[in-house]
Amino acid sequence: MTTLTLLRDGDAENTAISLDISHTIADIDPLIYGGFTEHMGRCIYGGLYEPENEHGLSDSRGFRKDVIECFKELDVPVVRYPGGNFVATYRWQDGVGPKELRPHRPELAWNGVETNQFGTDEFMAWAKEVGTEPYLCLNMGTGTLEDALAWLEYCNSDKNTYYANLRRKNGHDAPYGVKYWALGNEMWGPWQVEQHTKEDYAKKAVQWAKALKLQDPSIQLILCGRDGCSDWDRYVLQECIRWVDMHSIHYYSQGKSHYQNVTSPYAAERAIQVTSALIDLARCEIDLSPFPDVGRITTGPRSSHRPKICFDEWNIWDPERAPGDKGAEQEYTLSDGLAMAVWLNIFIRNSKDLGMATVAQSVNVISPLMTSPTGLFKQPTYWPLLLFSKYMRGKSIAVHVRCTAYQGKTSPEWLQSTCDIPKLDVSAAIDGEWINLAVVNVDDEKSYKTTIGGAPSFPSSVNIFRMGVTNAL
Ligand code: AHR
């Protein structure tokens, strides 16, 4: 939580940041530093998987070792897979078993061909190597509940049953224990194969959730929300809340000018606040029908069940510069790096409501990390991710910021009339003995001399990490 006092431009010398370390807001869930890998463009093939290995960068399984090192450096705790829009026609069964028998299929989301050379078992092996938790998204487009139950059985069952035995036959005795499962992706979108109305989706999501939790009560289900500020979000939460553990929202920030670009993430902060209120609204209206006799679901009216938000697609994306059907390879600038840091500040400030966030995407597709056959490049958006993942841990703490405001055009336009937009965007965390402060100066020309107060005593040791252009230091 940040409170603001906005100064007039002429008062900029009174800029100040004040921390309140006795006011902890919430634990920062480590899962906010999650990633996302979709069968799209060069994310999987040519990104994390390159069995051709012409330059010796892959291991014996075809996994790019340099990419794995970056995931480890970023300490990515969870990775969403296999889509995204891709999932709406994905048959997981095509991607398991002997590789030479796996069918090639038309891929309708990005208009390609899916060779299925990388599938569930490869992803699980890759995730194990990285040391990250898998988060699987179910196909609620062309896929059936039967397919979904079969995938869950394949991944998690230790019984003597058909799909568990198929996993064993494919060389994987132990269940993978996949905890996080999404009930579809962007089911509301006109671009989806099998777009749903909110009523149809909610009805189906309840039925799927019930069956999936019967099969494995230990899983966590993520409901498919929209951008957090829509009637879709309100309705599906109201209908499905007691069956799900998190509510997913998506938003990509963008802006033609620097200021529009770096302030656009504020729409995500608003989305989190609105979704949080929608979750509470849905909790008030929980109705035990239509399945009053299902004894396994322990939540109900007046229960403490409060799903968190899963921001499972977020990033800076200009679809004109980086079209999806051409692989969405976006070259990022310093302005984008600052926008990324604003995004991450938003997650820290709103840690009370966030159960997970997965940047979309992790390799090559609108990504901080770009590969080529001979190496990889870390974009300007990589460095804030690294700094936040290393240092912004523990508990978020309250901050007061006194600074001037940005008052020009915003993207989306409604931001300017809805939020205060400070020139200094700040979040703070306390982690053991360390107080960590993240400050983004979004001003495109001015530096601000800023007093920092509120620490119990002057710290004996201060480390400063600065991101910017050299001549601005
Ligand atoms: O991340 C790129 C795409 O953006 C995803 O496939 C889709 O879910 C979203 O629209």
Q: What is the pLDDT of residues 77-131, one digit of tens each?
A: 999 999 999 999 999 999 999 999 999 999 999 999 999 999 999 999 999 999 9
Q: How confident is the model at residue 261 (pLDDT cuts 50, 70, 90)?
A: very high
pLDDT reading at 312 higher than 50? yes
Residue 192 class from Cβ within 10 Å (0-12 exposed, 13-18 middle, 19+ buried)? buried
> Could you tell me the residue ranges of all domains in the chain?
1-27+396-473, 29-391
CA distance 398 to 417: 24
Mutate to test the pocket of ligand 1, among 251, 310, 313, 329 (most ligand atoms within 8 A of CB): 313
Please tell me the predicted confidence (pLDDT) of residue 291. Answer: 55
Site to probe by mutation for ligand 1, drawn from 80, 138, 187, 250 as the one with most ligand atoms within 8 Å of Cβ, is 250
User: What is residue 303's predicted lDDT score, i.e. its pLDDT?
Assistant: 63
Q: How far is the CA of 68 from the centre of ligand 1 (A)?
A: 23
DSSP state of 183: S
pLDDT at 352 over 60: yes
Confidence of residue 293 (pLDDT cuts 50, 70, 90): low
Helix axes 120-130, 145-156, angle to 10 degrees: 40
**Which CATH superfamily is 29-391 part of?**
Glycosidases (3.20.20.80)
* Atom 9 of ligand 1, residue of closest alpha carbon: 84
Pairwise CA distance, residues 4 & 332, whole Å: 30
Instruction: Give the pLDDT of residue 301.
Output: 40
Question: What beta strand segments (E) does 342-444 contain?
Answer: 354-359, 369-372, 375-378, 395-404, 424-431, 434-441
Give the CB-side neighbour count of residue 371, counting CA atoms within 13 A.
28
Q: Cβ neighbours of residue 376 under 8 Å, at least 6 residues apart?
A: 64, 66, 67, 70, 369, 370
**How confident is the model over 296-303, as a mean pLDDT?**
46
Written as six digits, the tokens of 33 are 């530093």
Band (pLDDT 50/70/90 cuts) for residue 298 is very low
Catalytic sites, residue numbers: 186, 313
pLDDT at 458: 66
Report the C-alpha gap between 38 and 33 in whole angstroms: 17
Q: What is the pLDDT of residue 284?
A: 83
pLDDT at 469: 65
Pocket of ligand 1 (CB under 6 A): 38, 40, 83-85, 185-186, 313, 360-361
- Distances in Å between the alpha carbon of 170 and those of 105, 178, 215, 365? 21, 17, 22, 30
CA of 85 to the centre of ligand 1 (A): 6
**Distance, CA 247 to ligand 1 centroid (Å)?**
17
Structure confidence at residue 290 (pLDDT): 55
Structure confidence at residue 79 (pLDDT) = 98
Residue 302 has pLDDT above 60, yes or no: no
443 Cα: distance to centroid of ligand 1 (angstroms): 30
9 compared with 313, residue with greater pLDDT: 313
Residue nearest to atom 6 of ligand 1 (CA): 84
CA-nearest residue, atom 7 of ligand 1: 84
Q: Are strands 246-253 and 308-316 parallel, antiparallel or unpaired?
A: parallel
Q: What is the pLDDT of residue 439?
A: 97
- What is the model's pTM? 0.94
Task: Please say if the pLDDT value at position 443 is more than 70.
Answer: yes
Is the pLDDT score of 399 beyond 60? yes
